[in-house]
Amino acid sequence: MTENATANTASDTASSMTTDNLSAGGFIPGYSDPYRFETQGARWWRTPCLVNDDMLISGDLHHSPEKASVQLKQWQEAGVTHIIDCRNEWSDLRLVNELAPSITYYEHGTHDAGGDQDDLWYTHGWQYYQDAMSYGDDQRVMIHCHMGINRAPSMAFYILLELGRTPTQALTEIRTARPIAACYYAISAWHTYSRTHGLRASARAEGLQEIEDYYTANRINLSRVIHEVRRVEHD
C-alpha cells in the first residue's frame, strides 16, 4: 500500500496492518465536512517533524504559491537549509529557488507503486545528506514526498541506518517524530544497506526480522491515513 496506489504493499506484514489507534474523526460523508481537517492524517500531513538534530520529514509544499511561501518560511524558521524531494510526479525546484533561494534543493524523485526502490535511490539520497552536512554543524535537511508517509520516511530510514542506527532504532525515531510514517519501503532500504555493506546472510535476516517485528507491534491503518489526507489535499 502506498500513497499513490493504496492497493499495493511493500510486504505481506505491511499489508496486514490495520488498527484503530488513529483518530476516528472526519468521516462524515462529503468533502464539505469541516471535521476532515481534524483527523490525524490531515493534521500531520504537512507538519514538519524533527527526527533528529539535522533531519526533518514532512509532506509536500502546498500547491498555492502563497501557502507554499508560508510553509517555506516555517521550514526556514525550523532551521531547514536543504530539501530532498522524493517525488517523481512533481518538482518545486523553481518555486523554492524563487521564494527561498538560500535553501539547496535536491530533486530526488522515485515511484510510489509499492515493492522495492532502486539501490541508487537510497545511496544517492545518502550522498545528498552527506553533502548537506558538509556545509557545517548548523545544517538541517527536510526530506519530503507528497504525503510524508512512505517515500520520505523510507529515505530517512536509510540515512539513519548509515548513521549507525539499528532497524528498530531507526523506525522508532521516525514513528515517534511522525506517527503517520508507515515507512513501508524500509525492507527495500534494508536490502540496499545489506548489499552496500556486504552483510552476512545471518545479519540480513536479523535486520529483516526486526523490521517485521516492528511492523507487527506498531500497526498503522495506511488506507485510512491516506483517505484522511485525500479529503483535504485540494483545499
> What does the domain layout of the chain look like in residue ranges?
34-228
What is the C-alpha separation between 48 and 191, in angstroms, rounded? 28
Residue 235 cell numbers, joined: 483545499
Q: Please write down the HEC assignment for all residues of the chain.
A: CCCCCCCCCCCHHHHCCCCCCCCCCCCCCCCCCHHHHHCHHHHHHCCCEEEECCEEEECCCCCCHHHHHHHHHHHHHCCCCEEEEEECCCCCHHHHHHHCCCCEEEEEEECCCCCCCCHHHHHHHHHHHHHHHCCCCCCCEEEECCCCCCHHHHHHHHHHHHCCCCHHHHHHHHHHHCCCCCCCCHHHHHHHHHHHCCCCHHHHHHHHHHHHHHHHHCCCCHHHHHHHHHCCCCC
Per-residue pLDDT tens for 22-53? 333 333 344 457 788 999 999 999 999 999 99
**Among the ranges given (2-16, 127-141, 181-195), the one the predictor scored with the smallest mean pLDDT:** 2-16
pTM: 0.87
**CATH 2.60.40.10, domain 34-228, yes or no:** no
Sort strands 55-58 and 49-52 into parallel, antiparallel or unpaired.
antiparallel
Beta bridge partners of 84: 106, 143
Q: What is the pLDDT of residue 205?
A: 98
111: left (phi over 0), alpha (psi -120 to 50) or beta: beta
Per-residue pLDDT tens for 172-231? 999 999 999 999 999 999 999 999 999 999 999 999 999 999 999 999 999 999 999 999
